[in-house]
Amino acid sequence: MYLNITRKSIKLVKRIIRKKYVYIFIGIFLTCFLTLPTKAQVYVFPDLTNTNNWLPQSEKNAEVSVCIRLDGICLFQVTTKLENVSERVGLIQNRLKQISYLYFSQKTPKAIITKKMINNLPNINVSISEQEIRLMTVTTLDVKNEGVDTATKANFIIERLEQGLKRGKKEREGIYLLKKGFISAAIIGSLLVINFLLSRLVKQLSSSRDRVYKYRSSQPISTVLTRREQWNIKEVQYRLLQITQGGIWFAGTLIIIGLFPYTRIGQIWLINFLRIPIRIGIVSLGTYLVIRTSYALIDKFSSILFNQDLLSIDSNQRLQLRLTTISLVARSIITIIWIVIGIIVALSVIGINVAPLLAGVGILGVGVSLSSQNLIRDAINGFFIIVEDQYAVGDVIQVGDFSGLVENINLRITQLRDPAGRLVTVPNSEVRIVANLSSNWSRADLMIPVAYEIDVDKALKIVHQVAQDMMQDKFWKNNILDNPEILGVDSFEEWGLIIRVWIKTRPLKQWEVSREFRRRLKVDFDNEGLPLAIRQQKLFLTHDSSSKNGRPLA
């Protein structure tokens, strides 16, 4: 029987992990502990409805309302000027601390709370063991925005104080502490179970994400875009699960701290200490998730524009390169936009007025635009390079004195990897005349030197035969797009004849085809005994008839 129950439990856990019902379980867990009934007197989180004192105020005469707390629970609020808030609140809290210490130190405490009118303002006094302590004076500022008079406010404070002292005394009893200890143990156990389930799910999602990320560059671009889209979605899910893990432990810690009267004030300290980092972290997380989601949408939109047949490896490679470049540039622009928006939102949520900041940034932008005209020209020229498809990532181009493979392009710069392996960065405003060596197709332009004394027709026949042999080769015929053109004798040089051959190839394959063609041609020429032309100098010696015995005649 117990074995069957265990098996059923394991199957249920696997089903939860597989179907991702763990999110529902988390929601139920947090809901149960955050909405416990008041009668149970379990105060999970402090009352943080009033946060006027969280952020710095700009005016010294501003009025702020602050909670007076006993064991971390807000009993009542007092209102005072910002410049006097620390002094008044600190004084009331110290007196309340003395009162609670006297009250809790007695086995059968009895507190007499009275209200005395002094200067038409009620003063609240507390007597414990024949020791009277004045708690506070209820001022007109305390009732300014509440719609009651000072006497009613004083009666409310007395009632709340009596309830708070009785509750604090009860919470310090051994039975109560033992009960909360069991609840804490149950919470820790629940956290461990949830963390185990989430860890399993995070591990599975991480493995799935890694499998999607390991796509091959030789695949069709539509497949690559689809995998990128899937990877970005899984990355968002992966990060959300990680944040959920941390959030559950943080919430569980706050819940446990709030169960005991001795540690409940730690909630206030912890939340006050982390209020700004938490807000910035939430905005940063939201910005990151929005950026990743935008990446997925860009890849999705790019993939639906073109179908699998159109974007196969063997056809329309040029369109693949262009689509990759546009996708990379779009992602860069989206990233910058969302980061700027995230910074503005982060400044706003921590209490900074962003309106003057935006105005200042606008003025600064005008000044920067006037002093950074080259940057603007780079962006404009980069935009036209991408739109007009002058070149894309993966092309081999020549710009001025530099040539190489385009590794990166954005609105500002183009980065080339030259044959020596150096990374050359060219501002887009400097790209005026560009030679693209791999747009749609390439051409191997072969200049074959042969000696004057050989049979030219025989040499042309060998060149033609070598070209046909390469066209019939299973490996090389995939790189050669059309029949080679034997142009014939192109020029007479002082050291030999030049036979010119054109071979149309796939992009970036012209150098491989040229090297193989020259190798085969050299082997066939050697077999036929035909020499290639070599640069050399010939010295012709002639006999002068006007001289005798090597001496000039008179």
DSSP 398-458: EETTEEEEEEEE-SSEEEEE-TTS-EEEEEGGG-SSEEES-SS-EEEEEEEEE-TTS-HHH
pLDDT score at 183: 92
Q: Are 507 and 405 in contact (CB under 8 A)?
A: no
State pTM to two decimals. Answer: 0.55
> Are 349 and 218 members of one domain?
yes
Residue from 525, 387, 509 nearest 463 by CA: 525
130 within domain boundaries? yes
Residue 166 burial (CB count, 10 A) = 13
∠ CA 98-262-49 to the nearest 5 degrees?
Answer: 90
Q: Are residues 34 and 119 in the same domain?
A: no
Looking at 172, 205, 230, which one is the last position of a domain? 172
Find out whether 135 and 92 touch, Cβ atoms under 8 Å.
Answer: yes
Low-confidence ranges of the chain (pLDDT < 70): 1-61, 209-225, 305-322, 361, 364-372, 536-554
CA distance 37 to 448: 94
CA distance 449 to 412: 44
Residues 327 and 409 placed together within one structural domain of the fold: no
156 and 278, same domain (yes or no): no
Same domain, 141 and 11: no
Q: Are residues 319 and 259 in the same domain?
A: yes
Q: Which of 386, 410, 436 is the last residue of a domain?
A: 436
Report the pLDDT value the prediction gives residue 182, as an integer from 0 to 100. 93
Distance CA 266, CA 260 (A): 10
| Structure-token pair, residue 524 | 């066939």
What are the Cα distances from residue 229, in Å, to 168, 294, 313, 317?
Answer: 56, 10, 20, 21
The predicted pLDDT at position 6 comes to 43
Length of the chain counted residue by residue: 554
Q: Are strands 423-427 and 434-436 parallel, antiparallel or unpaired?
A: unpaired
Residue 188 lies in a domain: no
How far apart CA 193 and CA 200 sit, in angstroms, is: 11
Name the amino acid, one letter, at 101.
Y
User: Letter for the amino acid at 470?
Assistant: M
User: In which element (H, E) is residue 451 found?
Assistant: none
**Of all helices (H) and strands (E), which one includes residue 442?**
strand 442-450
Torsions phi, psi of 219, nearest 5? -75, 160
Look at strands 485-493 and 434-436 and give their pairing: unpaired
Question: Would you say residue 202 lies in a domain?
Answer: no
Q: What pLDDT was estimated at residue 10?
A: 45
Structural domain includes residue 118: yes
**Domain with 283 in it:** 214-354
